[in-house]
A and B are shown apart, each in its own frame.
Chain A
Amino acid sequence: DADVTQTPRNRITKTGKRIMLECSQTKGHDRMYWYRQDPGLGLRLIYYSFDVKDINKGEISDGYSVSRQAQAKFSLSLESAIPNQTALYFCATSDLRTSLVNEQFFGPGTRLTVL
């Protein structure tokens, strides 16, 4: 079974709708991240969390919110989706104990299309 899972894997929605993307991990890692990937651009950090209830803004947090209610789960919400939020979204985890090298383990990605 995959260590980092994301649901849904694909989602098509309309402008103005509220969307939630879920990430779950069985690696026991403290740190979790949400990234978006756009064609021609590198992965960009939206939010990250070092522990339950810990939330930190990343490079592009506007229009997004997150929740970390349990160590294994980190959810990303788009309160009112807009077309320029169409992208591939990745969740990732890393282990606090190896934070110096910061190796991250990625989920399979969620392809979100906002019409």
Chain B
Amino acid sequence: KNEVEQSPQNLTAQEGEFITINCSYSVGISALHWLQQHPGGGIVSLFMLSSGKKKHGRLIATINIQEKHSSLHITASHPRDSAVYICAVPNNNNDMRFGAGTRLTVKP
């Protein structure tokens, strides 16, 4: 079993729909990261969170430490949100473990 599991692997939505991507992990953490990888390949950090909830614009990330589970939500989705979303968890202070990613396609 992978240390970081994401679901779904692929997700297609219509513009305007509410999106949820899930991440479950088995390693101990100090903070969980959500990353976005655009079709060109570049990876950017969206959120770091260690408790509760964070919101940036239409993106909301939540985490439940006890259940070792995090969700990334996108409200009023738009085609430009199409990307691969990756959950990452520090394995220790030396490196991180990454989920396989969720490929999101938002159709106009």
Contacts and interface: CB of A to CB of B under 8 A. Distances in A.
Interface string B5-46: 000010000000000000000000011010100001111110
Specify which of B4, B44, B86, B93 lies most central, judged by the most chain A CB atoms within 10 Å of its CB. B93
A106 to B, nearest CB: 4
Interface residues of B, number: 27
A101 B48 contact: yes
Nearest to B93: A99
Contact of A106 (B42, B50, B90, B94): B42
Given A56-B94, A88-B41, A106-B44, A42 B31 contact: no
Interface of A: 33, 40-45, 48, 56, 58-59, 88, 90, 99-106, 108-109, 111
